[in-house]
Structure 1
Amino acid sequence: MIIDLRSDTVTKPTKGMMEAILNAETGDDVYKEDPTVNKLEARLAAMFNMDEGLFFPTGSMANQAAIKMHTQPGEQLICDKWAHVYNYEGGGVSFNSGVSCKLVDGDRGMITAQQVKDAINPPDFYHSPLTSLVCLENTTNKGGGACYDFDEMLQIHHVAKDNGLSLHLDGARLMNAIVAKKEDPKKYGAIFDTISICLSKGLGTPLGTVLIGNKTVMQKAMRVRKVLGGGMRQIGYMAGAGLYALDHHVERLAEDHKKAKQIAAILEAQNYVHKVEPTETNIVIFYLSEGISETKFMEDLSKLDIRISNMGQGKLRVVTHLDYTDAMHDRFLNVLSTYN
């Protein structure tokens, strides 16, 4: 029994999802003639009370498209120093859009409205890049699945609007935040210009992210997706998986959160663990005590068919997910509590 906790992207489609994939009605999505894709895009747009959605193969491509839609070459976006768009998208901000990042030293990947305000370059000072976009991430990946306080995001929205900036949300694990905090998705649609919603992490589909937004900005989305090579044909099979996930895999995210918190509690009690970050959703970040080898620790787990991630800088990461069963959970907790 291999216990793979490196990411929530390692899941396989459930039996029900496979049936939804096989039974999906398809067409050519480049012509916008795939009915299942159209249904998924419309459903997510309506869920967040936004105008339109567009299906992308990956979350990184959806984020990169949004950045390109909101900016011009030579401009600058504001994001946390741990933001996915800066750390984990291959330098796409500069390569695809010719845009630089003003990095903010936030808390667990989350920044404040005051920090955003302080990071905006004076628009009449032509020696510095023109600030045009703010990118937030909820939940934060490198921040250990932390959830923004909605009121703080609302204040960031006000700062952005007061300064003529666009606001994009990398919602790779947004459903985790919505479930954890029992929030109304429509509140997000009211304050963000664009939101990327990933279906292949906690929701368990093989691929797919839907970028949603309001009509004015989304009219650019098809062209940008084409430029980035994201046009696909009978992708309704994957959209069918997405619709199934929205019906069956959203509320169950609470189970992943519960298991992650139990893992965090066990880790906090161990002498070989120096620190465990606050655990709100399905990601546990922890640090080993001084003198304990990260390499040996991970090798010891690997010998027991247990896989976790090393994020560098001492960060070890565990991510719970759809395929992490109760039996796996019991075994993993036992391993952690008896490791020496």
Structure 2
Amino acid sequence: MKTIDLRSDTVTLPAQSMMDAIASAQLGDDVFQEDPTTNELESLAADTMGKEAALLVPSGTMANLVAVLSHCERGSEVILGDQAHTFMYEAGGISAFGGIHSRQLPNQRDGTLKLEDVESAIRQDNVHFPPTRLICLENTHNRCFGMPLTVGYTKSVAQLAGDNGIAVHVDGARIFNAAAALKINVKELTGSVDSVSFCLSKGLSAPVGSLVCGSAEFIAQARRNRKALGGGMRQAGIIAAAGIEALKTMVDRISDDHRNAKILADGIAEIDGLSIDIDTVKTNIVYFSLKRLEIAGEVLVNRMSELGIHFFELSPHTYRLVTHADVDENDMDEALKVFKKVMADL
């Protein structure tokens, strides 16, 4: 029985071309900035995002943490969404390591923050308040159906921030998914913001690593913060080599994941007992619900897993499926067959 793993796009395995690149990578000491392969990746990442410089870090969590620490001082405040990955899933790192206060605003269904909410959340210059230093956006937004934030919205936030002397950071772990969904170059989504991070090991299918991109001055500070957090790596070219290959070969195929997600969504909409809002499926993330609330939510996950289909229940009776490079259209058809069988037997 084949396993179809739809828990996350982080389960992707590196292509053979990435393994070959790793095996032949030229190496040096990256803490001394002497690893040629890492330098090449950082230059490629900066150019791809339209920024002056970039920095390789081990994970997306560290990428966001390094970015926030580089924009903010202790006792300052960052504005972000109440469903943001940085707030929900990064172990409170900005407060634990940076002494930085977070002000959460309600995320809308499309992943945005209302501009009027953001404007009203910016602190007045008053000794009673932590100074607002940063606004964080997430694109695509994981907990908001994988929705892509538009260029227009991003520019509006950046304009508001700039008018108030505040920086904007985009958690762009899946920003290539956003660009693919909007049918634009990724630079259009990053040009107006101060910094952006993106993941190599989700839709791009590299084994590990994320990049933080921004101005040369910002990246110099980010490099210092990466070192303080224990993220400085020596012969990091073995990671960077796969990242270079990923950026060169995997970006254009991301739209395949979106098509497969739509196949899943359309099929789920036809299955009795399941509920889905088709209009929310814009990228590679599919949220759906179990209508039969008398059945414990984990029952569906466990039954499907027994038959080789793996996914998560993210909240009671609400589930997430994520498509990626290691599943194809045939896998979508098989997953839907198993869904129909399991739902008929519940």
* Partner SS, residue 135 of structure 2: strand
Structure 1 segment 140-159 matched on structure 2, within 5 A:
140-159=141-160
Identity %: 38
Q: Name the residue aligned to 2:42.
A: 41
Q: Name the residue aligned to 1:266.
A: 267
Q: Which moved more, 1:237-246 or 1:183-192?
A: 183-192
2:120 maps to amino acid: D
Q: Which moved more, 1:73-82 or 1:309-318?
A: 309-318
Q: CA deviation at 1:313?
A: 4.3
Question: 2:7 touches 2:321 (CA, 8 Å); kept in 1?
Answer: yes
Q: Name the residue aligned to 1:14.
A: 15
Structure-1 separation of matches of 2:101 and 2:274: 37
Q: Which moved more, 1:208-217 or 1:288-297?
A: 288-297
Structure-1 separation of matches of 2:159 and 2:188: 14
Q: Name the residue aligned to 2:117.
A: 115
**Stretches of structure 2 lacking an aligned partner (at least 5 in a row):** none
Q: CA deviation at 1:295?
A: 1.2
Q: Name the residue aligned to 2:297.
A: 294
Q: Name the residue aligned to 2:212.
A: 211
Question: 2:135 touches 2:168 (CA, 8 Å); kept in 1?
Answer: yes
Q: CA deviation at 1:326?
A: 3.2
Q: Name the residue aligned to 1:304.
A: 307
Is the aligned partner of 1:280 residue 2:285?
A: no
Question: 1:112 touches 1:152 (CA, 8 Å); kept in 2?
Answer: no
1:90 maps to amino acid: A
Q: CA deviation at 1:329?
A: 1.9
Structure-2 separation of matches of 1:326 and 1:180: 18
Question: 2:179 touches 2:189 (CA, 8 Å); kept in 1?
Answer: no
- TM-score (norm. length: structure 1): 0.96
Q: Name the residue aligned to 1:323.
A: 326
Q: CA deviation at 1:27?
A: 1.0
Structure-1 separation of matches of 2:49 and 2:7: 30
78 and 12 in structure 1: CA distance in 2 versus 1, 3 angstrom threshold? same
What's the CA shift string for 1:260-316, capped at 9, x where partnerless? 011111112222113346111000011110334311111110110111011124431
Question: 1:276 touches 1:284 (CA, 8 Å); kept in 2?
Answer: no
Question: 1:21 touches 1:240 (CA, 8 Å); kept in 2?
Answer: yes
Structure-2 separation of matches of 1:49 and 1:321: 26
* Partner SS, residue 252 of structure 1: helix
* Partner SS, residue 45 of structure 2: helix
Give the count of matched residue pairs: 339
Structure-2 separation of matches of 1:326 and 1:187: 30
Structure-2 separation of matches of 1:140 and 1:314: 20
Structure-1 separation of matches of 2:141 and 2:131: 26
Q: CA deviation at 1:112?
A: 3.0
Q: Name the residue aligned to 2:235.
A: 234
What's the CA shift string for 1:212-259, capped at 9, x where partnerless? 101222220111000010000111111111111111111111110001
What RMSD over aligned residues (CA atoms) do the two structures have, in Å? Answer: 1.3
Q: CA deviation at 1:149?
A: 1.7
What's the CA shift string for 1:31-56, capped at 9, x where partnerless? 11111110110011112221100100
